[in-house]
Amino acid sequence: MARPAPSSDVVSIDPRTDTVVEEVAPATSDTDVARIAARASAAADSFGRTSRAFRAALLRAVADGLESRRDEIVAVADRETAIGETRLNGELTRSVYQARLFADAIEEGGYLEAAIDHAGPTPMGPGPDLRRMLVPIGPVAVFGSSNFPLAFSVPGGDTVSALAAGCPVVLKAHSSHPATSKLCFDILTGAAATAGAPDGVLGIVFGQAAGAALVADPHIKAVGFTGSLSGGRALLEIIERRPQPIPFYGELSGLNPLVVSPGAAAARTTEIAEGLFTSFTVSAGQLCTKPGVVFLPRDAAGDALRDQVVRLANASDEFTLLNSRIRASFFNISARIAGAPGTRMAAGAGRAVDRIRVAPQLFELQAADLTDTVLEECFGPSTVVVRYSSPAELEAALTRLPPSLTGTIHCTDDELDGFEPVIRYFEANSGRIVFDGFPTGVLVSWAQTHGGPWPATNSLHTSVGVTAVRRFLRPLTWQNAPAAVVPEELQEGYTAIPRRVDGALVPATSTVAATTSADASVAAPSTA
């Protein structure tokens, strides 16, 4: 193995003190990236053919492994991210739940979209026997995010989506929590080994250059990425230079506009103020669903609501951000927003902060003064309040925003009709529209969507929730195939999954346990 120079070692930094705590791993060399990707590719066929019961058992082993080392994981993640043990415990719970939910989902089997069209006459002549289902796309590169060291990183949604689909995963460890990444990776590989998964189903690389080499590697067949728009653009450019382009699933950016109607501001002033303050400061405002621009009416209720948020912000503790790069960015973007014409700093100005911690900030301006400068996404405990004086002014202001992951509206029942243009704007320009609540907190479930038109994401899919598995699957049809060849899910008489047979939906009438090996710990190819 070609060892890089020590200067390129990946180190773990404590953001509370801005000091290096340990060297975690050498930056992975190009040679090693190629070797790891090739191992993943070699494992893809056998892993892709494991039964759903086998992969469900693997995911549950992952969940158990994470749960069994909860305290250790939370401690190292907190040391590397300063996120705090309460939220990190919640994030671990979420990661564990997520792995188990995907296990349930692949056992249920609807995700396969299995369909059988029997041979027979058609208006175009005799039709063949066609059997279709989704199959794994192949090795997936997963880039974790800085702000979710667990739920959107090594043991996160992209990883379990890909494993559920039957795809090997090569992780790019995030530079902001490499030790957490390494610990979780070891737990995942332990679970995979215990479950009997093929060697190469999980791999990890360290260092930015290794991540770029990974995306360029011909063995990689899809990329999952959660991070900045610029980071996503850089990976997309690498993909565009590949001889064979591959799908890129980037969760990239979001202002997450939140609109409060005059009626809601008057009727629920305190409730909205407290919810809003929590929503833009939870996790130090470092959430991709943070409401980054808030539209309040230009009236007394809007003033009162703003004043309450200002009081909460000024009374708040300071926050430690994830790393020095994000902190520098927070200060730079904040300065630009503060300097925008017509913009004032309603909270946070002059707050004493030390070299490390930052205070919550609230900027305020009139809708007429809205410019692109104040619409720059600012990771951290900060939001921009825009005051509007009429529905027309609000609607015009919204059209200046880029699409987001979410759009939120607080209004009374009486105002609903009048706010229809706002609702339609959010339906067209986000992946989730929230009523009388707050966008932060993304439940992992069947009906969730965490996506949206570019630059929120560039895909037609969600990265949170069960349907995230679809990103790593592609359809395959067997025509007039001998029964010995087709997967068990497409055999005549298989009843453990919902299928579409000759166009009609046929629900499952048995469970997977009845038709698969009782010993799910042994990898059993699902096809001949």
Residues classed as catalytic: 251, 288
β-strand pairing of 361-366 with 382-388 = parallel
The Cα–Cα gap between 195 and 189 comes to 10
Structure tokens at 221: 């067949």
Among 35, 67, 90, 318, binds a second copy (CB under 8 A): 90
Rule CB under 8 A: is residue 234 a binding residue for a second copy? no
Among 146, 175, 281, 448, binds a second copy (CB under 8 A): 448
Side-chain-side CA neighbours of 268 within 13 Å: the count stands at 15
- CB of 365 vs a second copy, minimal distance in Å: 25
Which CA distances in Å does 213 have to 35, 207, 216, 267, 275? Answer: 11, 10, 5, 55, 43
- CB of 219 vs a second copy, minimal distance in Å: 12
> Which residue type does 129 have?
D
Among 392, 443, 513, 522, binds a second copy (CB under 8 A): 443
The candidate with the shortest Cα–Cα distance to 98, out of 463, 406, 433, 439, is 463
- CB of 460 vs a second copy, minimal distance in Å: 5
Which CA distances in Å does 441 have to 139, 195, 234, 484? Answer: 30, 32, 28, 46
> Which residue type does 75 have?
A
Specify the residue for token string 């009236």.
299
- CB of 206 vs a second copy, minimal distance in Å: 29
The Cα–Cα gap between 111 and 47 comes to 17
The candidate with the shortest Cα–Cα distance to 32, out of 160, 163, 210, is 210
Q: Which stretch binds a second copy (CB under 8 A): 309-317, 321-329, 390-398, 429-437?
A: 429-437
Rule CB under 8 A: is residue 183 a binding residue for a second copy? no
Measured from the CB atom, the residue of 132 and 357 that comes closer to a second copy is: 132
Specify the residue for token string 């494991």.
50
Rule CB under 8 A: is residue 45 a binding residue for a second copy? yes
Q: Which stretch binds a second copy (CB under 8 A): 18-26, 169-177, 300-308, 462-470?
A: 462-470
Rule CB under 8 A: is residue 447 a binding residue for a second copy? yes
Rule CB under 8 A: is residue 38 a binding residue for a second copy? no
Q: Is 259 in contact with 175 (CB distance < 8 Å)?
A: no
Which CA distances in Å does 523 have to 35, 61, 527? Answer: 24, 14, 12
What's the first-to-final CA gap in the chain, in angstroms?
A: 38
Measured from the CB atom, the residue of 262 and 465 that comes closer to a second copy is: 465
At what angle are helices 208-216 and 229-241 packed, to 10 degrees? 40
Among 20, 368, 513, 528, binds a second copy (CB under 8 A): 528
Measured from the CB atom, the residue of 3 and 233 that comes closer to a second copy is: 233
The Cα–Cα gap between 57 and 49 comes to 15
β-strand pairing of 357-358 with 319-320 = antiparallel
* Binders of a second copy in range 95-134 (CB under 8 A): 97, 104, 108, 110, 113, 115-117, 122-125, 127-128, 130-132
Rule CB under 8 A: is residue 62 a binding residue for a second copy? no
Measured from the CB atom, the residue of 207 and 439 that comes closer to a second copy is: 439
Helix residue ranges per DSSP H, 69-154: 70-81, 85-108
- CB of 157 vs a second copy, minimal distance in Å: 13
* Binders of a second copy in range 484-513 (CB under 8 A): 484-485, 498, 500, 502-503, 505, 507-508
* Binders of a second copy in range 270-329 (CB under 8 A): none
Measured from the CB atom, the residue of 6 and 507 that comes closer to a second copy is: 507
Rule CB under 8 A: is residue 331 a binding residue for a second copy? no
Q: Which stretch binds a second copy (CB under 8 A): 60-68, 93-101, 142-150, 312-320?
A: 93-101
β-strand pairing of 202-205 with 130-136 = unpaired
Measured from the CB atom, the residue of 189 and 463 that comes closer to a second copy is: 463
Q: Which stretch binds a second copy (CB under 8 A): 10-18, 241-249, 254-262, 275-283?
A: 241-249
- CB of 389 vs a second copy, minimal distance in Å: 25
Q: Is 151 in contact with 174 (CB distance < 8 Å)?
A: no
Among 13, 76, 137, 214, binds a second copy (CB under 8 A): 137
